Amino acid sequence: MQLASVYLYSTHGEVEFIDFNPGRLNIVTGVSRKGKSVLVKIIDYCLGRSDIPTSAGNVEKALSWVGAMWQFDDGGRAFVGRPLPQGQQKNVEALLTMGDATLQAPQFPFEPNMNTKTMRLELGQRIGIDESRIEPPLGSLRDPLRTHLGHAAFLCIQSQDEISSSTKIFHRSGERGVDEALRDTIPYFLGAVPPDQALQKAILRQEQRRLQRLERDLRDVIENAEGIEAELLALHSEAVDVGLADPLESTRPTNRNELVSLLHRASRDVSVVPPDTASTQSQDAERRARNDLERAEDELGQLLAQRALLLDESEGSSDYQDALKVQVGRLTSLDLLSPASVAAESGDEETSVQVPGCPVCGQETADPTSGQMRASLEKLKSQLVGIRGASPAKSAALESINQQIMEAQRRVRQLRQAVDATLSAQSAVGRDSSRRQDFTRGRIDALVARAPEADESNAARIRERIAVAEGTIDELQRSLSDDSARERLTTRLNRVGRDLTKHAQDLGLEHSDKNVRIDLAELTVVAEVDDDPVPLHRIGSAENWIGYHVTSHMALHESFIRHDRPVPRFLVLDQPSQGHYPSQRERQTEAGTADADDQAVRDLYKKMYDFVDDNNGKFQIIAVDHADFAEEWFTSSVVKDWRDQSQGQVGLVPAEWLERLDTTTDEEDPLIEE
């Protein structure tokens, strides 16, 4: 997106415009107080800024609307109009129309059709800004940020007081919230974060919610599968009790398919047990269930006792091991003694005895105490080795008994449910055998219908879906990780730094023989001098500050163009020559100094001209300044010369618009201070 024209509409309906050349250097030159800086503010205003671009006074009273015609890379166009309400400091109304290359500015008067937020959204989407959601750092109190055209404008404008700043290099840096927005959005515009980051984060959140649902479903299936077997067994016992199943089948088969088959037959067949014997069988079934439960509970108690004993033994051996370690520590000082074989206390005469030396004086001594202590040390060490060797076996035994306890607990739960089922079957429907059988048939149908849901194959399918979701989440988290973003950002900034250094060397800026880079933390330029970072404010002189402002933005826009990033393809510079021609003295310097300043300004503009030319129409620079040179490359770049009376209009606002206003003189009411 580049600037094709700027429009001004008077309160009486007249229109004036300034045409610019996309893909070229465009220069608006003239003396002070002709509205050059107001032009820069109008461009910013037409990108969605809410501050009114004019100073209070004649200009504000003379204008009713301003507008800009934007040209896109594909040839399409968009017109943005903004009203200038009298006496208001901020405005959020806008008019936006889009079309092809034949689009013209609408006929005045016209009305706003949206607010600036919507205008920025639609215009930003037209150039590819996807309103990526940028999350603040962990622990920050700031709200998430959505990128828009206004953030891109920070990288495209340098006002008069910004281009000569010794501390910050970006438009509006230092204003509330702007520095944080710059640090958050520059990585996005550089392409250091995925272009579809917002979409990927949305997919990540969706997959995480899906994974939670699947894990919950798997837990339900597992719990249902564990409980369904006990319910099937209990219901089979109940079917036997009420006469729907053969008592010979009461051995409680554990195979689920066999249980389901038996229950299917029980719910559809007629009674297989005479009603007069059902009560006795029911009591027998209850008794058997209680006996089985008691045996299972006894088995569980024995297993728990075995585990407690094993744990006590482990703790005891641990205490004994600690005591041995203490004794070994005390005897370790024997290592000070010289190596010597110690005679066995058994009295074996064939065993050679070497008398140990004194650890203090080194003399031999016949005292056998040290040898005995050394033998004790070796014995203690061997006992420690034995205890450590036994530890893995105890751990394995403990793990095995824990598994047996879990299985016994599951068996106890099943049998308790079976006992409860026999009791409920006897009491729920009284002594009426037919009603009891109908009640049991209904329970069988309900439980058999639930049984397939608890099948292991269903759990396996859910596990497969969980594995797929986990893989997707891992891949998305890797692509969105802070480490990956930092690596990409470092790579992009390193390339920007190399381009910045080259451009600075072309202009002969101070410390450009070193590596120069952009510091996003401080939003400034830093030169690496003798392995120490030297920030811009320590480099000194307005010439260097302005030079580094211009070259750093050139390097950034080279990266935007190289990677086809959604940033407008223009740079607006307000008085880049002010470091050499302070506006208050208008070149009133000594001849030698003036010649050097002229050459430095000429070199700066030639650098801009060559930079635009090297980008083959993909970039546009607009400079408003006092500078004026006779070289053909400079004069061909001038789109407005407000010194030349032959051009008629010698300022931003036509003189007749101001003459109609019965107000103060220009001296009392300047367009803007420059």
pLDDT at residue 626, rounded to an integer: 87
Least confident of 13-27, 155-169, 382-396, 639-653: 382-396
Query: Which residues, at least 6 apart from 566, have a Cβ–Cβ distance to it below 8 Å?
Result: 124, 127, 128, 129, 130, 152, 189
Query: Which residues, at least 6 apart from 490, have a Cβ–Cβ distance to it below 8 Å?
Result: none
**Residue 19, CB half-sphere, CA atoms under 13 Å: how many?**
3
Q: Report the alpha-carbon distance of residue 159 to residue 573 in Å, rounded.
A: 6
Average pLDDT over residues 477-490: 75
279-285-287-292 Cα dihedral, nearest 10 degrees: -170
- Which tokens hold the place of 475? 């891949």
Beta strands in 157-271 (DSSP E): 157-158
Q: Are the CB atoms for 653 and 35 separated by under 8 Å?
A: yes
| Alpha-carbon distance values, 358 to 34, 47, 340, 370, 378 (Å) | 104, 93, 12, 9, 20
Q: Report the alpha-carbon distance of residue 431 to residue 423 in Å, rounded.
A: 13
pLDDT at residue 142, rounded to an integer: 58
Q: Report the alpha-carbon distance of residue 547 to residue 607 in Å, rounded.
A: 10
Q: Report the alpha-carbon distance of residue 58 to residue 65 in Å, rounded.
A: 14
Q: At 396, is the pLDDT very low, low, confident or very high (cuts 50, 70, 90)? A: confident
Give the bridge partners for 460, in sequence order: none
pLDDT at residue 347, rounded to an integer: 43
pLDDT at residue 387, rounded to an integer: 54
pLDDT at residue 492, rounded to an integer: 92
Write out pLDDT tens, residues 550-584: 999 999 999 999 999 999 999 999 999 887 765 44
- Which tokens hold the place of 453? 């849901």
Q: At 590, is the pLDDT very low, low, confident or very high (cuts 50, 70, 90)? A: very low
Write out pLDDT tens, residues 401-415: 888 888 888 777 777
Q: Report the alpha-carbon distance of residue 34 to residue 625 in Å, rounded.
A: 11
Annotated domain spans of the chain? 21-51+116-193+484-651, 214-474
According to the 3-state scheme, what is the secondary structure of 513-534? Answer: CCEEEEECCCCEEEEEECCEEE
3-class DSSP state for residue 3?
Answer: strand
Average pLDDT over residues 98-104: 93
Q: Report the alpha-carbon distance of residue 504 to residue 549 in Å, rounded.
A: 10
Average pLDDT over residues 107-120: 91
pLDDT at residue 296, rounded to an integer: 79
| Alpha-carbon distance values, 13 to 9, 49, 62, 115, 579 (Å) | 6, 24, 10, 23, 39
Rg (CA), the chain: 45
In our burial notation (b when 16+ CB lie closer than 10 A, e otherwise), range 605-624 reads bbbbbebbeebeeebbbbbb
In our burial notation (b when 16+ CB lie closer than 10 A, e otherwise), range 138-177 reads eeeeeeebebbbbbbbbbbbbbbebbbbbebbbbbbeeee
Q: Report the alpha-carbon distance of residue 559 to residue 253 in Å, rounded.
A: 74
Average pLDDT over residues 359-384: 60
Query: Treating both helix axes as pointing N-terminal to C-terminal, what angle do 433-450 and 275-331 enclose, rounded to 10 degrees?
Result: 40
Q: Report the alpha-carbon distance of residue 353 to residue 368 in Å, rounded.
A: 10
Fold exhibited by the domain 21-51+116-193+484-651: Rossmann fold (3.40.50)
pLDDT at residue 352, rounded to an integer: 43
DSSP 638: E
Question: Would you say residue 293 has pLDDT above 60?
Answer: yes
pLDDT at residue 12, rounded to an integer: 86
